[in-house]
Amino acid sequence: MLGMKFAVVLCLSLFMVKAVGAKQYKFAVVPKEENNPFFQASREGCEAAAKELGNVECIFRGPKGVDVRKQDKIITELVAEGVDGIAIAVAQSAFILDNSMKKALSAGIPIVTYDSDFETEAVTRNPNLRAAYIGTNDFELGKALGEALKAEMPNGGNVIVQSGRSDSPNLNLRVMGVRSALSGREYEHSPGKRLMGDGGWTEPTKPLYNFGSFEQALEDLKNVLNSYKQRDIHAVVAVGGWSQFLTNYRNVVEPYKQAISDKEIIIITADTADEQLVYLKDGLAHANVGQNPFEMGRQTILTLYKLATKKPVEEIRYIPMTYCTQKNYQTCTKN
């Protein structure tokens, strides 16, 4: 018995020595913006993976709101700090490529992207730009939003598209997906072409860009709802969840609840955060197509760890989407 206890103690001691002696890694996750429920969920995934691995620290650092220059500055700071790997949700491809990415690549720091990748042309020109992309297939997300709209309004109509920035690679892919689903056409370059009767659908204006401002997105939605009858607008498709991340969404949309029920105006929105599902339950939106930011954050750390320990990684890892409606809002995000 004593011999057995001694053996157990010896094994535990050896394990502890090994754990203490293991190399410690610092991996950084740089979101487009910190003050966004989507990216906050990716932080939780980052921290969960770090805890799972044990010898990893998750550094989550990004601008408070979408700001390309601030994001670039943060990446430069992380390079100077000597982190072991960086995951970036790319806010704007060209500026970062011309600045902080050059420093990161020169320092030999492994780079992955999540949620938003570099532009396809940039990756094609420089295959070593980033080792992997982890996130949603943004074109397919946009198509799913378009298909959700067609399910509610199969005969076409006039649609307003809401987006964040006109130079955001992932959002432009979503816009192209929406247009492809509605028009039935394929486009060579994102964001595709504005709908002008294609497949029965027309965009009366170019997309409404909010530059990552929840308040601006909600104000734009409010203006559309206030004037949809006069302007003959039938639907709003938002390729991000911006307006629905504000509690004031309810106050803005509730006066039009009957019009939403009667499908006089259709509201289709990306993302499926808990608060967004409440709006589906209460009849204040028609459908949401969501992502899994927690798993994105988790997989970025696991991928960076593989890179740091010289293990192979998948270049593209798409995280499955969730499809929510007024009918299935209770179960649509459950695994």
- List, edge to edge, every strand of the sheet that includes 132-135: 56-60, 25-30, 85-88, 111-114, 132-135, 316-318
What residue ranges do the domains of the chain occupy? 22-136+293-320, 138-290
Tell me the HSE value of 283 on the side-chain side, using a 13 A CA sphere: 10
CATH superfamily of 138-290: Response regulator (3.40.50.2300)
Q: What's the confidence (pLDDT) of residue 13?
A: 40
User: Which stretch of DSSP H or E encloses residue 266?
Assistant: strand 266-270
User: Which stretch of DSSP H or E encloses residue 70?
Assistant: helix 68-81
Q: What's the confidence (pLDDT) of residue 90?
A: 93
SS3 134: strand
Q: What angle do CA 140, 70, 164 make, to 5 degrees?
A: 30
SS3 243: helix
What Cα–Cα distance (Å) separates residue 90 from each residue in 62, 77, 203?
11, 16, 27
CA 193 to chain centre: 23
Q: What's the confidence (pLDDT) of residue 124?
A: 87
Q: What's the confidence (pLDDT) of residue 335?
A: 57
Taking the chain (335 residues) in runs of 10, the rounded mean pLDDT of each run is 41 41 90 92 97 97 93 97 96 89 94 92 88 96 98 97 93 97 95 97 97 96 98 98 97 98 98 95 98 95 96 95 96 84
What Cα–Cα distance (Å) separates residue 85 from each residue in 39, 58, 109, 132?
18, 10, 5, 12
**DSSP assignment string, 174-237:** HHHHHHHHHH----SSTT----EEETTEE-SSS-EE-TT-HHHHHHHHHHHHHHHHHHT--EEE
C-beta neighbour count of 35 within 10 angstroms = 15
What lies within 8 Å, CB to CB, of 226 at 6+ separation is none
Architecture of domain 22-136+293-320: 3-Layer(aba) Sandwich (3.40)
Q: What's the confidence (pLDDT) of residue 3?
A: 46
CA 182 to chain centre: 22
What is the rounded distance in angstroms from the CA atom of residue 199 to the CA atom of residue 204? 15
SS3 86: strand
Give burial (CB, 10 Å; 0-12/13-18/19+) of 161.
buried
Q: Is the peptide bond before 191 cis (omega within 30 degrees of 0)?
A: yes
Using CA atoms of 218, 145, 116, 224 in order, give the dihedral in degrees to the nearest 10.
-20
Choose among 118, 111, 90: nearest CA to 32: 90
Q: What's the confidence (pLDDT) of residue 17?
A: 39
Choose among 2, 60, 5: nearest CA to 32: 60
Using CA atoms of 180, 184, 189, 195 in order, give the dihedral in degrees to the nearest 10.
-70
What are 321's two structure tokens? 């989407």
Domain 22-136+293-320 identical in fold to domain 138-290: yes
Q: What's the confidence (pLDDT) of residue 155?
A: 95
Choose among 158, 147, 137, 126: nearest CA to 231: 158
